């Protein structure tokens, strides 16, 4: 201004404009590099965090998911990482750019006029203090807001997963009212957080622009008195605006950064959650290549973490020989499924030991321990994917021939081939479209393909029709051949020919023997038998 316009020099003006265009090109290249690189870093960091959180979650003990809603954890996993992705890939970029402009602008202010720059610096504490105070509030509110969002997501997921039950009981009006309360709670927290961010931005911009106004007034007086030139004041005002705009932008993104800090804290809570299932490192060892399948249970006592005062198993001791078929019977809550959970080390017992081929299960790495078992649950878990994917779940590297052979032995091959795409037929969530018997036969085929030496059957026929039960009973000999088998039996007809039947009640072994022996000497077993076989045996009606 002083050397171009005031002296009316076209050459000086052209030189200044030429330099300006050079800087514009540099700005364009720098903006491209900044946007691409920072966005790439954001995506990379979030992808790594997601992988790390998922890898940690699937190793956590089931007790953690008893005390924390799985759908809420899922919402936290998705919603919070999305917040981080937005902040790291966009907000951080804005913060970096404006921080650079702020520092560069301050340097140019001192170069241009140290006196006026000093006045601006004196006003900075007035800006920083509100940012710190309101920033803490925004961070706390952001965490609460994310918690409410997780509640919204988990409630939606729960209702959609159980949509048939919701509609069958006409529960929609209640769900609408409850969800409205959950959504309004999330809105109320978000509204308070937004108000705090708005105050933070308003105060910061007002103070910064107010300081610039004071500078212009003092600088104007200096120009009038001749202590500085108009061009110097114009340059100083331009740099002041850069500093002011940068400070205002930073004050706005600080709210987003605090929100990201709240989301990150929730994610790191998941990452820092320890798993309670640990291998005794000092004595960890692999099982031998050939596992016989002997199981020895010594003085086992256990309470679930969510119910520490209620003992589910009480000083339970048992020896199961390799190749033996043992049935567990008893009323609900007797501890039958709990024993399966302890064998698979979903939990560790409070007292006692479980030995597999004379090796303490706590000294065996979980990967090797669980290879000893094949589980057929009462309600088989099927996953989104093809039928082939679900059978291969136990052994992903299995050949097509081995998979088909397992399905054939499980009497599943026939109905699979009748489907439109055979083994490549896609299943919906939880195997929608298949009958209960078809799901069970797929679960048996999966267990066959696992080829584990110990088989755990959690009453695979209790909820099936007669034809499906007959097909599955036909599949059982092929499944149980040359394996140690433990069967949870609610229907005693399925275990009458077991090598031994163990009668459990309230976590205590009441008796062990064969069917006929137990009918004669054990009152609990006799009562269960009478209830189930009364119609088949007229003698019990007299």
Give the pLDDT of residue 156: 75
**How far from each other are the two terminal CA atoms of the chain, in whole angstroms?**
117
Give the pLDDT of residue 542: 34
Least confident stretch, 164-168, 263-267, 428-432, 504-508: 428-432
Q: Which tens digit of pLDDT belongs to each residue from 389-421? A: 888 888 888 888 888 988 888 888 888 888 888
3-state SS record for 322-333: CCCEEEEECCCC
Give the pLDDT of residue 4: 58
Q: CA-CA distances (angstroms) from residue 124 to 8, 116, 241?
A: 38, 13, 15
> Residue 142 CB: number of other CB atoms within 10 A?
27
3-state SS record for 77-130: HHHHHHHHHHHHHHHHHHHHHHHHHHHHHHHHHHHHCHHHHHHHHHHHHHHHHH
CB-based contact 154:74 (threshold 8 Å):
yes
* CA pair distance 376, 450, nearest whole angstrom: 11
Residues in the chain: 542
> Residue 275 CB: number of other CB atoms within 10 A?
12
Over residues 176-203, the mean pLDDT reads: 80
pLDDT over 90 (residue 22): yes
Percent of the chain with pLDDT over 90: 2
CB-based contact 435:468 (threshold 8 Å):
yes
Query: In which band, very low, low, confident or very high, does the pLDDT at 536 lie, cut at 50, 70 and 90?
Result: very low
* CA pair distance 340, 375, nearest whole angstrom: 9
Higher pLDDT, 31 or 25: 25
CB-based contact 242:105 (threshold 8 Å):
yes
Higher pLDDT, 140 or 192: 192
pLDDT over 50 (residue 337): yes
Least confident stretch, 66-80, 128-142, 295-309, 382-396: 128-142
Instruction: Enumerate residues 6+ apart whose C-beta is below 8 A from 190.
Output: 145, 148
pLDDT over 70 (residue 456): yes
**Best mean pLDDT range from 3-12, 71-80, 137-146:** 71-80
DSSP 430: G
pLDDT over 60 (residue 464): no
* CA pair distance 472, 470, nearest whole angstrom: 5
pLDDT over 50 (residue 535): no
* Angle between helix 10-57 and 230-272 (nearest 10): 10
Percent of the chain with pLDDT over 70: 83
Query: In which band, very low, low, confident or very high, does the pLDDT at 330 lie, cut at 50, 70 and 90?
Result: confident
Instruction: Record the pTM.
Output: 0.67
Burial of 343 (0-12, 13-18, 19+ CB in 10 A): buried
pLDDT over 80 (residue 523): yes
Mean pLDDT across the chain: 79
Instruction: Enumerate residues 6+ apart whose C-beta is below 8 A from 207.
Output: 123, 126, 127, 130
Query: In which band, very low, low, confident or very high, does the pLDDT at 24 lie, cut at 50, 70 and 90?
Result: very high
Give the pLDDT of residue 139: 66
Give the pLDDT of residue 216: 79
pLDDT over 50 (residue 338): yes
* CA pair distance 423, 323, nearest whole angstrom: 32
Query: In which band, very low, low, confident or very high, does the pLDDT at 538 lie, cut at 50, 70 and 90?
Result: very low
pLDDT over 50 (residue 283): no
* CA pair distance 296, 320, nearest whole angstrom: 6
Give the pLDDT of residue 29: 92
Over residues 66-92, the mean pLDDT reads: 76
Query: In which band, very low, low, confident or very high, does the pLDDT at 25 lie, cut at 50, 70 and 90?
Result: very high
Phi and psi at residue 146, to the nearest 5°: -65, -35
How many Cα atoms sit within 13 Å of 427 on the Cβ side?
22
């Amino acid at each position: 201004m002083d050397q171009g316009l005031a002296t009316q020099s076209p050459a000086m003006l052209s030189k200044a404009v030429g330099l300006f265009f050079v800087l514009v090109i540099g700005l364009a290249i720098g903006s491209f590099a900044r946007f691409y690189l920072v966005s790439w870093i954001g995506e990379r960091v979030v992808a790594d965090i997601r992988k790390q959180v998922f890898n940690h979650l699937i190793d956590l003990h089931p007790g953690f998911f008893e005390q924390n809603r799985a759908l809420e954890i899922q919402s936290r996993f998705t919603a919070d990482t999305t917040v981080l992705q937005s902040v790291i890939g966009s907000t951080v970029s804005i913060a970096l750019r404006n921080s650079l402009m702020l520092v560069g602008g301050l340097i140019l202010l001192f170069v241009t006029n140290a006196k006026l720059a000093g006045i601006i610096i004196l006003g900075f504490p007035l800006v920083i203090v509100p940012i710190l105070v309101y920033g803490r509030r925004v961070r706390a509110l952001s965490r609460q807001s994310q918690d409410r969002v997780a509640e919204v997501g988990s409630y939606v997921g729960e209702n959609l997963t159980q949509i048939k039950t919701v509609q069958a009981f006409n529960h929609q009006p209640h769900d609408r009212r409850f969800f409205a309360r959950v959504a309004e709670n999330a809105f109320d927290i978000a509204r308070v957080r937004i108000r705090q961010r708005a105050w933070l931005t308003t105060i910061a911009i007002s103070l910064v622009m107010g300081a610039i106004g004071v500078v212009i007034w003092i600088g104007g007086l200096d120009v009038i008195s001749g202590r500085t030139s108009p061009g110097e004041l114009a340059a100083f005002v331009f740099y002041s605006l850069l500093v002011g705009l940068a400070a205002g932008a930073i004050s706005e993104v600080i709210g987003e950064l605090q929100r990201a800090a709240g989301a990150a804290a929730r994610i790191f809570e998941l990452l820092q959650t320890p798993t309670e299932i640990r291998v005794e490192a000092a004595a960890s060892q692999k099982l031998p290549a050939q596992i016989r399948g002997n199981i020895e249970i010594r003085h086992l006592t256990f309470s679930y973490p969510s119910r520490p005062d209620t003992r589910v198993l009480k000083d339970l001791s048992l020896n199961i020989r390799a190749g033996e078929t043992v049935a567990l019977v008893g009323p609900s809550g007797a501890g039958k499924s709990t024993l399966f959970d302890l064998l698979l080390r979903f939990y560790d017992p409070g007292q006692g030991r479980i030995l597999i081929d004379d090796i303490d299960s706590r000294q065996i790495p979980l990967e090797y321990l669980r290879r000893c078992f094949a589980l057929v649950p009462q309600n088989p878990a099927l996953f989104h994917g093809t039928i082939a994917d679900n059978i291969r779940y136990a052994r992903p590297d299995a050949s097509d021939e081995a998979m088909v052979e397992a399905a054939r032995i499980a009497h599943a091959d026939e109905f699979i081939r009748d489907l439109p795409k055979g083994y490549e037929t896609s299943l919906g969530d939880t195997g929608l479209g298949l009958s209960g018997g078809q799901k069970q036969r797929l679960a048996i085929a999966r267990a066959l393909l696992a080829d584990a030496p110990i088989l755990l059957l959690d009453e695979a026929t209790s909820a099936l029709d007669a034809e499906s039960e007959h097909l599955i009973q036909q599949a059982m000999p092929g499944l149980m051949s040359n394996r140690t088998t433990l069967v949870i039996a609610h229907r005693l007809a399925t275990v009458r020919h077991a090598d031994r039947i163990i009668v459990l009640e309230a976590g205590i072994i009441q008796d062990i023997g064969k069917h006929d022996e137990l009918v004669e000497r054990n009152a609990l077993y006799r009562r269960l038998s009478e209830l189930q076989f009364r119609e088949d045996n007229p003698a019990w009606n007299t």
